[in-house]
């Protein structure tokens, strides 16, 4: 099966300047990332703040050009697309944002917000658009009577529904959702998760779901990719990755999540210290300064993202010692 969207050796650097006279420095937000997303699947991308998740979202939607590397949509290189192809790509790939407050224009009525993508892509006449917008409102669980209201008249959960309706307006094939539920209250979170799952099944969408919440990830994803300092450190099928992780960072992340079920609580592996600055990433394996298993080689040689002995095909990890740590008895 060919991937719907794929990234190869994706790099994004930003130039930053410390102060007026300080030298310019390169901040590498995404440092050689490979990713494949297949039709109809939900890929969950997880990592802590500052690991480059949101930059990946901006790169994959074409909002920011990569410094290096290739993005392919349905087999076609994004950088080689002509205007027509690009327009189609931008219609097919839609985005849902984290903050339901800042991602809706406060001066636009809801009907204009949801209708804008239709107008931009010149879909339908005015009458058809009105009908479509009303239908979308109902689909996401809001009333079509509320169409002439402004965003501030809605609660956070309702606004997130408006953001979803806007993303669905032009019948996309792929939705990239960047932390769509983390700003919401518990009971509202469940409603939005259900809505996303429903529209995905109904419209046979592919999803790239970016979040730091592993319980949400477990609920929604088919496959999971774990990011650390601009790189994927582990990727695999959901159950395989969550139950038999092959990277110490994944283990630390999983064991840090507080669990209600005492039986699910794991031996706690606490990652030491904090995420290093992407301005001066550690040598070798980016996780080695925080890793309890680190050895000499870890600070010298960066491990490749590879399948490991004893893991299932497609389950890859970037660690020199995966087999030793996770496939033999305990650790060394």
Partner 1 sequence: MSPLIEIKGLCTEFRLATGVLKAVRCLDLTLEAGETLALVGESGCGKSITAASIMRLVPPPGRIVSGSILFKGRDLLKLGEDEMREIRGNRIAMVFQDPMTSLNPVFTVGYQVAEGLRIHRGLTRDQAEEETVGILEQVGLPAPRERLRDYPHQLSGGMRQRVMIAMALACRPELVIADEPTTALDVTIQAQILELLDRIKTETQMGLLLITHNLGIVAERAHRTAIMYAGQIVETAVTAELFKNPLHPYTRGLLASLPEFGTPGEKLATFAGSVPDLKNELTGCPFKERCPICDDNCARESIEMKEAGAGHTVRCLKAP
Stretch that binds partner 1, among 11-19, 162-170, 208-216, 321-329 (CB under 8 A): 208-216
Q: Is 146 in the site for partner 1 (CB under 8 A)?
A: no
Closest distance to partner 1 from the beta carbon of 209 (Å): 12
Closest distance to partner 1 from the beta carbon of 86 (Å): 34
Q: Which of 27, 34, 40, 48 binds partner 1 (CB under 8 A)?
A: 48
Total residues contacting partner 1 by CB under 8 A comes to: 40
CA 14 centroid distance within chain: 20
Q: Is 185 in the site for partner 1 (CB under 8 A)?
A: yes
Closest distance to partner 1 from the beta carbon of 50 (Å): 8
Alpha-carbon distance 143 to 269, whole Å?
47
Beta bridge partners of 11: 31, 68
Q: Is 186 in the site for partner 1 (CB under 8 A)?
A: yes
Interface characters, 259-278, with partner 1 (x: CB under 8 A) = xxxx-xx--x-xx-xxx---
Alpha-carbon distance 189 to 140, whole Å?
14
Number of residues written out for the chain = 332
Q: Which is nearer to partner 1, 133 or 291 (CB)?
A: 291
Q: Which helix (H) or strand (E) holds 178?
A: strand 174-178
Q: Is 257 in the site for partner 1 (CB under 8 A)?
A: yes
Closest distance to partner 1 from the beta carbon of 126 (Å): 34
Q: Read out DSSP for 279-318?
A: TSPPSSSTTGGG-TT--GGGGTSPPP-EE-TTSPTT-EE-
Q: Which of 214, 225, 227, 232 binds partner 1 (CB under 8 A)?
A: 214
Q: What order do you get walking across the sheet with 24-37 strand by strand?
A: 24-37, 5-17, 68-73, 76-77
CA neighbor of 321 nearest in space, from 284, 280, 272, 273: 284
Instruction: Return residues touching partner 1 (CB under 8 A).
Output: 48-49, 155, 157, 185-187, 189-191, 193-194, 197, 212-216, 218-220, 238, 252-253, 255-262, 264-265, 268, 270-271, 273-275
């Amino acid at each position: 099966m060919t991937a719907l969207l794929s990234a190869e050796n994706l790099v994004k650097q930003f130039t930053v300047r410390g102060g007026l006279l300080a030298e310019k420095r390169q901040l590498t937000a995404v440092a050689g990332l490979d990713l494949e997303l297949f039709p109809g699947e939900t890929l969950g991308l997880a990592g802590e703040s500052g690991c480059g998740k949101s930059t990946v979202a901006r790169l994959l939607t074409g909002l920011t050009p990569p410094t290096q590397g290739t993005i392919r949509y349905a087999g076609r290189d994004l950088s080689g697309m002509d205007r027509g192809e690009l327009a189609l790509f931008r219609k097919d790939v839609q985005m849902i944002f984290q903050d339901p407050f800042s991602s809706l224009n406060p001066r636009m009525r809801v009907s204009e917000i949801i209708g804008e993508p239709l107008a931009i892509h010149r879909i339908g006449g005015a009458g058809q658009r009105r009908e479509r917008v009303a239908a979308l409102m109902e689909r996401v669980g809001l009333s079509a009577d509320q169409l002439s209201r402004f965003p501030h008249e809605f609660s956070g959960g309702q606004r997130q529904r408006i953001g979803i309706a806007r993303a669905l307006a032009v019948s996309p094939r792929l939705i990239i959702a960047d932390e769509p539920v983390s700003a919401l209250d518990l009971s509202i979170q469940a409603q939005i998760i259900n809505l996303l799952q429903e529209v995905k099944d109904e419209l046979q969408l592919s999803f790239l779901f970016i979040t730091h919440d592993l319980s949400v990830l477990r609920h929604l994803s088919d496959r999971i990719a774990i990011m650390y300092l601009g790189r994927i450190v582990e990727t695999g099928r959901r159950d395989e990755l969550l139950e038999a992780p092959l990277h110490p960072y994944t283990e630390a992340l999983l064991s840090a999540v507080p669990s209600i079920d005492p039986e699910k609580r794991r031996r706690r592996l606490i990652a030491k210290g904090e995420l290093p600055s992407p301005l001066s990433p550690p040598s070798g394996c980016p996780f080695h300064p925080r890793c309890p298993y680190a050895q000499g080689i870890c600070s010298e040689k960066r491990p490749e993202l590879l399948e490991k002995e004893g893991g299932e095909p497609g389950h890859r990890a970037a660690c020199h010692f995966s087999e030793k740590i996770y496939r033999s008895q305990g650790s060394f």
